[in-house]
Amino acid sequence: MRTAPTILHLDMDAFFASVEQASKPSLRGKAVVVGGLGPRGVVATASYEARVLGVHSAMPMGQARRLAPNAAYLVPRFGLYKAISDQVMELLRALSPLVEPLSLDEAFVDLEAGGVAWDEASARLAGVRLRADIRAVTGLTGSVGLAASKMLAKIASEQAKPDGLVVIQPGTERAMLAPMPVRTLPGVGPATGDHLRRAGITTVEDIVEAGEDELVRLLGKAHGHGLYAMALARDDRPVTAEREAKSVSVEDTYDVDIHDRLRVGLEVQRLADRCVRRLRGAGLSGRTIVLKVRRFDFSTLTRSETLRGPTDDPGVIREAAARLLDSVDTTGGVRLLGVGVTGLADYTQEDLFAQAAGARVSTERAVEEHAMAPAEEQPVFAGRRWPAGHDVRHAEFGHGWVQGSGLGRVTVRFETPGSEPGRVRTFRTDDPDLEPADPLPLVLPGQDKGRGPKDETGASRLRPVAQYTDADG
């Protein structure tokens, strides 16, 4: 393991909710919940103001509404989040060629490989500047962890939340980990945590004391060895830039269309097993299960479900594929079926034990649910949609966003990222003066948000605004 804290982990704070607050001045400092608003919707994320009330990711939306009845409830705007994420990732790539994104708002960076840090002081400076640049370019805050390994850098950024920076000095890792709950370690989810607790193991120190043999006895060979090494703060996993394979998938085209639903189900199970064999053959696991169906008329559908952590468990992948198939109408016949796994990882799985035990630890992400069932979640009137939180433009009042709609009316708050909190007006949903609009940039050129001295950061080379400019931007 390296001797300086030059692995950086960045995680943006309350990402989707922070983007919404930056975009809507009236929501700053308020409880904001982003997620699926339909009957089966779940919370994608909540602003820190809403978290105080007990709302968190993956919670059913109904429960969130009971806990925070006065919060703003918004549907996700992935295009916007992706554009901001691209800006953040570009800042990271300016630091090092070795950037490993884990999701839209999270990545590891090997600062040493980029030549920007070699010891604690230089690593800390790179982290401080990065946070300032992210704020200047996107208007948002991200938390940074710095350590000598991926595991510890991630633990550090968690400790830094929100809006902070934590450095774990090499040499202090084991003492720091010792009193922490076992759940802190990667690979320990609720099921593994319970299993260990029943064996009297609740802290990282308990794992070390139990010894490697006992861990292997409790959790099996791979997971036991891996977890014991993590408890000793031994983690040599390199930061890897692009993954070679972005997905692993298999598909079959049938000579004769399959009509029998039962047969379709069996084919999907068979494909899921084949896909798992490939995945395991490549030593990979993945988070997102994809089902592809081409119907008799050549219409092709893909459905996907994202699990909480990567898996290569045949039972988990088979079950997910079967669930996805449930949402597809195959009457009329099927010409082609495919099963794939994306979001690949070769690092420790989130909760191997639970997956092996067949327990369902996956929560369907609000993200996927929204992408799959837009019609269910967005009110449609006369062919026009006014999803809560989306941007609109009114011929007379200008740019605003949908605060709510129903009974033939849509309520719009007229404000922009750079304006004061705006006023609300109500229109008929078929008002010809009102039309959907693209999001505006969160930060305008020249409008610096808390940037320190500019020159040394290197950020001035960046595009000043995101790619999502409005027509009259």
**Binding-site annotation: residue ranges:** 11, 105
Nearest alpha-carbon partner for 449 in 74, 90, 50, 21: 21
Q: How far is the CB of 376 from ligand DCP (least distance, A)?
A: 17
Q: How far is the CB of 145 from Mg ion (least distance, A)?
A: 12
Three state DSSP letters for 209-273: HHCHHHHHHHHCHHHHHHHHHHHCCCCCCCCCCCCCCCEEEEEEEEEEEECCHHHHHHHHHHHHH
Q: What is the DSSP letter of 27?
A: G
106 is catalytic: yes
Q: What is the DSSP letter of 9?
A: E
Residue tagged active-site, from 106, 368, 369, 415: 106
Whichever of 306 and 378 has its CB closer to ligand DCP, that residue is 306
Which secondary-structure segment (H or E) carries 417? none
Among ligand DCP, Mg ion, none, what does residue 366 contact (CB within 5–8 Å per kind)? ligand DCP
Cα radius of gyration (the chain): 24
Q: How far is the CB of 105 from Mg ion (least distance, A)?
A: 4
Among ligand DCP, Mg ion, none, what does residue 359 contact (CB within 5–8 Å per kind)? none
Start-to-end CA distance of the chain, whole Å, equals 49
Residues found near ligand DCP in the complex (CB under 6 A): 11-16, 44-45, 57-58, 103, 105-106, 161-162, 365-367
Whichever of 9 and 399 has its CB closer to ligand DCP, that residue is 9
**How long is the chain?**
473
Nearest alpha-carbon partner for 23 in 140, 164, 106: 140
Among Mg ion, ligand DCP, none, what does residue 365 contact (CB within 5–8 Å per kind)? ligand DCP
Among ligand DCP, Mg ion, none, what does residue 161 contact (CB within 5–8 Å per kind)? ligand DCP
Q: How far is the CB of 27 from ligand DCP (least distance, A)?
A: 15
Q: Inter-axis angle of helices 212-219 and 221-231, to 10 degrees?
A: 140
Nearest alpha-carbon partner for 292 in 276, 303, 306: 303
Residues found near Mg ion in the complex (CB under 5 A): 11-12, 15, 105
Q: How far is the CB of 159 from Mg ion (least distance, A)?
A: 14
Among ligand DCP, Mg ion, none, what does residue 58 contact (CB within 5–8 Å per kind)? ligand DCP
Q: Which residues is 73 bridged to in the sheet?
A: 33
- Could you tell me if 7 and 148 are in contact, meaning their C-beta atoms sit under 8 angstroms apart? yes
Whichever of 43 and 227 has its CB closer to Mg ion, that residue is 43
Dump the DSSP string for 440-468: PPSS-TT--SS----GGG-GGGS-SS-S-
Nearest alpha-carbon partner for 80 in 115, 43, 34: 34
How far apart CA 197 and CA 251 sit, in angstroms, is 42
Q: How far is the CB of 204 from Mg ion (least distance, A)?
A: 24
Among ligand DCP, Mg ion, none, what does residue 367 contact (CB within 5–8 Å per kind)? ligand DCP
Tokens 């080379």, located at residue:
461
Whichever of 32 and 116 has its CB closer to ligand DCP, that residue is 32
Whichever of 76 and 422 has its CB closer to ligand DCP, that residue is 76
Q: Give the annotated binding-site residues for Mg(2+).
A: 11, 105
- The 10 Å Cβ neighbour count of residue 453 is 8
Whichever of 105 and 364 has its CB closer to Mg ion, that residue is 105
Number of H helices, E strands in the chain: 16, 19
Residues annotated as catalytic (active site), given as ranges:
106
